[in-house]
Amino acid sequence: MTTQPSQAETLLGFPADFVWGAATAAYQIEGAAAEDGRGPSVWDTFAHTPGTVLGGDTGDVAVDHYHRFAEDVALMSSLGLTAYRFSVSWPRVQPGGSGPVNQKGLDFYRRLVDALLEAGIQPWPTLYHWDLPQPLEDAGGWPERETAYRFAEYAALMREAIGDRVVNWTTINEPWCAAFLGYASGDHAPGRREPEASVRAAHHLLLGHGLAAQALRGEGRRVGAAVNLYAVSPASEAPEDVDAARRIDGLQNRFFLDALLLGRYPEDVLADVQPYDLGVREGDMAIVGGPIDQLGINYYNRFFVTGREGAAPAITSPFAQASPWPGSEHVGFVQVGRPVTAMGWEIDESGLAEVLTRVGTEYPSVPLYVTENGAAFDDVVSAEGVEDPDRIAYIEAHLRACHSVITAGVPLRGYFAWSLMDNFEWGWGYAKRFGLVYIDFATQARIPKSSARWYASVIERGGIDRSPAE
C-alpha cells in the first residue's frame, strides 16, 4: 500500500506572517482622469502627445478602478490577498501640486482604505508612482529642488488623511525610472532628454523620499521606498564588458541602495555621470539616508551588458530614441537566449535571489519586501477563461527564489505580484498584460486568469509545491 505524502512533505512553506500581496499604480488603473477635481499629471500630458504611447493609448479610462474599486477589493478578497499595494494620484488629492487639497480625491482613498481594512487586507499606499502634478512640471519638475519639498508636504497631507489607519507606506516608486526614463531618454513622462536634469531629478526624488519619510514616521507607521533592482552581468569577461556591468549596476542599483541605506552616493557612479552635477547640498545625504523601516524591491530580470562599440541599446519603450544611462550611453544590452516574456525580458529567477541576497548581506539590515514581480504574456480569453501557465511558472520560480533566500537568513517579509489586473503599461499602452486578472478593455469585465486561482491557492496553503530536488 502506498501512502500519500503529507502536506509538510510536499509544501515549501513560507513564514506564517509572510505578506501575500498584489500591486497596481494609480495612473495605470484608475481612469476618471478629469473627474471630481483631479488635475492633470505629467502622464496625462505625455500620453496625449502623439508618438509617445503605443496605439495612442492614454490612462483617461484605464480599467475604471476609480468607479469599480469596491468590485476590485472583493476580487482581492476572493484571492485571499493579505495586502494590496496601490499608489495615490498626487494630482487627484492636490491638483496644483501645492496649495489646496481636493477633498473628493482624498475621499476616494479614504473609501478605498476603509474597504480594504473591512476585507482584512492591509493597505500599502505608494505616494509617488510617476504622476507628478503638471503644474509642478511646469515649474521645472524633479530637476528643481523645490519639488522635493512639495512632495513632503503632500506626504504630510496624506498622513493627516489616512495615517491613522495605514501602517505601511512607500514614498517613491522606482526613482531610476522617474529620473532617467522621464528626463534622460524621455521614454516616460515628462519626455525630456536632458542628461543633467535627469541626475538632478534622481537626487531630488531621493531627497523628497527622505523628507517625506520624516513627515510620515511616528505612531507605529512603517515607511520605505521601492527601488527597481536588476541582477547585472557582463556579456563576457572582456574589460569593456566588465566596466559596462560596473556602470549599469552602479547607476541602477548601488546609486539608490547606497543613498537610501548608507546615506551616500558611490564615488565611481559620481565619476561616471560627470560633468553633470546632482545639486547635492550640505545635509542632504543625512536626509536621504535617514531611517527607514523597510525597503521595497521590484525585480523583473537580469541585464547582460557590453561595452563593445555599436552594441544594441536597451529597449525601454516602443519609441526609444535616447539612452537612459547618462554618462554610460555607449553601453549595450544583449540577450543570452533564455525564454522571454511578452516584454522581451529574459526570465531569470536566479537574479532575484542574487539581488535579495546582496541587499540582505551587504547593507545594514532592514526588512525587505518584493513590492513588484511578474510577467506580461499575450493572454487570450476562450470559453474556458484565460489559461496562463507561463505566468504561473514565472511567479512560482521567483517565489522559489524568495524561499531560498529566506531560508538563508535574508529578512524578506512579503511578496507583491505585479499586477493585480491588466492595465496601462506606460509606453506600451494596453498592449502588454501583466495581470493575474484579465481585463476586457471594451467592457471592463474582470476575468481571473488561471494564475489568479493558482496564486490564491498558494496564499491559502502558505507556500508552493516542493520541487523533486527540495
State in angstroms the smallest separation of the CB of 283 from ligand FCB. 30
Residue 110's SS3 state is: helix
State in angstroms the smallest separation of the CB of 27 from ligand FCB. 9
Give 149 or 345: the residue with its C-beta nearer to ligand FCB.
345
Determine contact, residues 131/90, Cβ cutoff 8 Å.
yes
Long-range contacts formed by 264-273: CB under 8 A, 24+ apart: 264/289, 272/247, 272/327, 272/328, 273/195, 273/199, 273/326, 273/327
> For the stretch 151-161, what's the b/e string if a residue is b when 16 or more beta carbons lie within 10 angstroms of its beta carbon?
bbbbbbebbeb
C-alpha to C-alpha distance for 78 and 96, rounded to whole angstroms: 37
Residue 70's SS3 state is: helix
Structure-block grid coordinates of residue 178: 522617474
State in angstroms the smallest separation of the CB of 385 from ligand FCB. 23
Give 25 or 136: the residue with its C-beta nearer to ligand FCB.
25
According to DSSP, residue 47 is labeled H
Is residue 372 among the annotated active site residues?
Answer: yes
Nearest to 66 by CA among 45, 93, 98, 95: 93
Report the half-sphere exposure of 184 (CA within 13 A, side-chain side): 25
State in angstroms the smallest separation of the CB of 222 from ligand FCB. 20
Q: What is the maximum alpha-carbon separation in the chain?
A: 76
Helix axes 389-407, 350-362, angle to 10 degrees: 30
DSSP string for residues in 218-253? BTTBEEEEEEE--EEEESSSSHHHHHHHHHHHIIII
Give 116 or 227: the residue with its C-beta nearer to ligand FCB.
227
Give 117 or 343: the residue with its C-beta nearer to ligand FCB.
343
Give 14 or 418: the residue with its C-beta nearer to ligand FCB.
418
Determine contact, residues 324/398, Cβ cutoff 8 Å.
no
Is residue 35 among the annotated active site residues?
Answer: no
State in angstroms the smallest separation of the CB of 177 from ligand FCB. 6
C-alpha to C-alpha distance for 245 and 232, rounded to whole angstroms: 6
Which helix (H) or strand (E) segment is 371 a member of?
strand 368-372
Give 188's contacts (C-beta < 8 A, 6+ positions apart): 46, 130, 177, 178, 181, 182, 317, 426, 427
Cα angle, residue 211 at apex, residues 252 and 280 outer, rounded to 5° = 55
State in angstroms the smallest separation of the CB of 426 from ligand FCB. 5
Binding site for ligand FCB (CB under 6 A): 25, 28, 173-174, 177, 228, 298, 372, 418, 425-426, 434
C-alpha to C-alpha distance for 108 and 69, rounded to whole angstroms: 9
Selected catalytic residue, list 137, 144, 349, 372:
372
Give 108 or 418: the residue with its C-beta nearer to ligand FCB.
418
Give 174 or 243: the residue with its C-beta nearer to ligand FCB.
174
State in angstroms the smallest separation of the CB of 314 from ligand FCB. 13
Give 241 or 388: the residue with its C-beta nearer to ligand FCB.
388
- For the beta carbon of residue 389, count every other beta carbon within 10 angstroms: 12
State in angstroms the smallest separation of the CB of 298 from ligand FCB. 6
Selected catalytic residue, list 174, 346, 349, 354:
174
According to DSSP, residue 444 is labeled T
Which residues have a catalytic role annotated?
Answer: 174, 372
